Structure 1
Amino acid sequence: MDTTASTPRNDPYASLRYKEFNYYLVIRFALVFALAMQFAIIEWKVYALSHDPLSLGFIGLSEVIPAVTLAPFAGHLVDKREKRGLLLKCVIAYLFISTGLFLLTWDRAVAGMSTHWILISIYFLVFTGGVVRAFVSPSNFSLLSLLVPRALYANASTWSSSAWQIGGVLGPALGGLCIYWFGVHWSMLLVVAVFLAPLYSLILIKPKPIYYQERGETFFQGLTSGMRFVWRTKVVLGAMALDMFAVLFGGAVAMLPAFATDVLHVGSLGYGLLRSAPAVGALITMFIIAHRPLVNKPGIKLLAAVFGFGLTIIIFGLSTSFWLSMAALLVSGALDGISVIIRQTILQLKTPDDMRGRVAAVSSMFVGSSNELGAFESGFMARKLGLVTSVVFGGCVTLAVVVTTYVISPAMRKLDLKP
């Protein structure tokens, strides 16, 4: 990578002029597309087997336990190892996991198995995927910074988030459509095939240098150094905490199979459309911000976006109209897209090169895992309070978190994202 290459000022396509970064975008898209489609299919299958919203929560819990537990170790290992090679191993592992889920959705393969053991087997493979994800997040984050110059981190983060959102749009939408057209089993076969795309793209990227520096730390100190860095860097801590609580209590998407089936009565096709709506909204935001970067008062904009996200979750929870629910989820995704871009830019600009894996691991514990914990929280609260009440309650908690953050975090209010 030629880090001295000149790029036009305010060029929205600057990072796309680096060949290996384009391969990275394919990896980013294909991984998210395959995983989002896989989760949409598995969520539908699990709810069809159990008819219990808490069973949907257990999917998230199964993944979050290993992802959080192993995150400090994974981040430490990623910093000490070559990132492209680690990510390649993770993709191969995902191929095996998706093949296992493909077999579990095949009636001939599970003939003689009880519903209980089918569910247990699905949860086990999801758990294994959580182990892999603990290494994927820091590897992905660290690799991006090795593909473009530092001056383009904000631009690259926008395009990376766009690729992630495109995958998030098409994955669940195609998952719902494929369930409708072909059934769960053959839909899972497509997921297996998609995982071949990031495998090929990774082969086209050259191995990258390792910036890890020995600091005379003990093994435990090495594991926890990322946490200490985040704790000392208040703007990073604030951004992670804000997003974590918003996603944790605003996890309406996890309950979509139940809403589609029992509240809106729209079936698998409507489920696929609802599942993709937040990502469509986020994708629109990504392309707008690529041309109009969030330069002025990004901290205030982040707080406003998360506050609006909470409001849309409340509207979704109260809605009995399919189109109003679609609109609420679309807007929630657009607002969440702002949060994603600002948070990723903060992490890229504030994190030292030799600590990127560990800081990204902490981020995955705060933010990435909050999706799965939010799914479990939503499922648990849906059983205790009812489906609609649990979602509305979560949206209200999100609003309270934003107001609290505004009051106690002057660093967030004064946030500056200049490189």
Structure 2
Amino acid sequence: MSVHTKLLLRHQRPFIAFWLARVGTASGFQMLTVAIGWQLYTLTGNVLDLGLVGLVEFLPRILFILLTGHVADRFDRRKVAALCQGAQGLVALALLIGTTLGGLSREMIFLIAFLLGSARAFEMPTTQALLPNIVPPGLFPAAVAASASAMQTATIVAPALGGLLFALDAGWVYGPAALLYGAALSLMLSLPARQLPLKQKASLDSLLAGFRFIRSRPEVLGAISMDMFAVLLGGATALLPVFAKDILLTGPWGLGLLRSAPALGALLMSLWLAYFPIERRVGPVIFISVAIFGVATIGFGLSTSLWFSLATLVLLGAADMVSMVIRGAFVQLQTPDEMRGRVGAVNGLFIGASNQLGEFRAGVSAAWFGSVPAVLIGGVGALLVSGAWLKLFPELAKRDRMHEPQDAAEAMATAGTGPVSR
């Protein structure tokens, strides 16, 4: 066990509660995602609907982009995160009632997806901004990897469990998901209050500070935009129900395994990075990881074997985790605490664009060209992005260390945010 990990576990007990809360909320979301995707595809048989669900979940990130970051900076982050988790638990209960009563229509699923996306739009920047309030800066890179392992742990177990429960009865998925959200809520409220909430009232200048901050840092902008476009083009998550049912000839349990496979690769990589954080040559590493992501996507698109498909998805998840950890450390280590919510909201918009809009892109491409060509086009697109960003962001390609002490101060001066009154 590395020194970073020993210190993290020995001296940061609140981090354990935070980690477990992340496991709970991520598990609940993954179980809902598997059930909603299979239920919708079974209901309509339309592959485009799978992409539309991703679009509907992404819309709140755009609609509330300025508000979500300000809420995370102005109010107690623990309470905001807990409120969002409670709202997602109510969504799970609504799905349970709708499924039990047999009144869950296509339109109702889209409405529920919008509500789920709204709660997650507020939760993501809040929990991202909360982590630096729990661990000291010296442990933060290891904490990012360890925190990411919570989501990947949940994503391995929860989709497979959700698929198994759905195969027994659709309604069996939603009750346990609601309980997991309730547990996450309780753990989040148990964290110590170490944040000094922002006293500044909302203004256009304050709300736009997150955009200015990211624009002022070429390495940060390059990292999050490359990840966004690579996953936007290469993401195939929305099409997993199609591959499971029509190409790999498996059932809900197979779909659960397919959704778990990227998380397995990501978990293994996150554990490695928690023990051995990336300290040098982070620029070249992130470019290599995006290229590997594209190659793995192409391999998945060509596969007709369940086990080979699982292997490519494991590799895909491991490569994506490297990019995610570097991006997360860049953003959080270079951002002052009073701005982390607003910067996190912008970062969340990039992440949502890559995930939810990526699902919409995949659904549209599959409707136009077919599911296999849609995945292959996406994999090639991810490779092209990694090459193009070498030219567009040479600062990122040359980046050696994860964090330099003067980064945040320089960025604040460039962004022109100035001191914030409390």
TM-score, with normalisation over the residues of structure 2?
0.92
Report the CA distance between 1:396 and its aligned residue. Answer: 0.7
Q: What one-letter code is carried by the residue in structure 1 that aligns with 2:18? A: Y
- Which of 115, 137, 141 in structure 2 is aligned with 1:154? 141
1:18-417 alignment runs, 5 A limit: 18-106=12-100, 109-110=101-102, 113=103, 118-180=105-167, 182-212=168-198, 214=200, 219-415=203-399, 416-417=401-402
Q: Distance in 2 between matches of 1:342 and 1:155?
A: 11
* 1:85/1:207 contact within 8 Å kept: no
Runs of 4+ in 1 over 6 A off after TM superposition: none
Q: What one-letter code is carried by the residue in structure 2 that aligns with 1:95? A: G
* 1:242/1:405 contact within 8 Å kept: yes
Q: What one-letter code is carried by the residue in structure 2 that aligns with 1:285? A: M
Q: What one-letter code is carried by the residue in structure 2 that aligns with 1:15? A: L
Q: Distance in 1 between matches of 2:335 and 2:219?
A: 12
* 2:82/2:186 contact within 8 Å kept: no
> Once structures 1 and 2 are overlaid, which stretch shifts more, 117-126 or 357-366?
117-126
3-state SS of 1:266 partner: coil
Gaps of 5+ in 2: 405-422
Q: Distance in 1 between matches of 2:203 and 2:335?
A: 21
Q: Distance in 1 between matches of 2:383 and 2:147?
A: 28
Q: Cα RMSD between the aligned structures?
A: 1.6
Report the CA distance between 1:381 and its aligned residue. Answer: 0.6
3-state SS of 2:4 partner: coil
3-state SS of 1:15 partner: helix
Q: Distance in 1 between matches of 2:156 and 2:2?
A: 31
TM-score, with normalisation over the residues of structure 1?
0.93
- Change in Cα spacing, 1:218 to 1:100, as seen in structure 2 (3 Å) is closer
- Which of 5, 27, 40 in structure 2 is aligned with 1:12? 5
Q: Distance in 2 between matches of 1:128 and 1:310?
A: 32
Q: What one-letter code is carried by the residue in structure 2 that aligns with 1:390? A: A
Report the CA distance between 1:414 and its aligned residue. Answer: 2.1
Report the CA distance between 1:292 and its aligned residue. Answer: 1.7
Q: What one-letter code is carried by the residue in structure 2 that aligns with 1:85? A: K
Q: What per-residue deviation string (whole Å, max 9, x for no partner) do you get for residues 355-400 of structure 1?
A: 0000000011011332110111100110001110011001111111
> Once structures 1 and 2 are overlaid, which stretch shifts more, 205-214 or 291-300?
205-214
Gaps of 5+ in 1: 1-7
* 2:61/2:121 contact within 8 Å kept: yes
Identity of aligned residues (%): 35
3-state SS of 2:3 partner: coil
Q: What one-letter code is carried by the residue in structure 1 that aligns with 2:326? A: I
Q: Distance in 1 between matches of 2:94 and 2:238?
A: 22
Report the CA distance between 1:271 and its aligned residue. Answer: 1.1
Instruction: Give the number of aligned pairs.
Output: 402
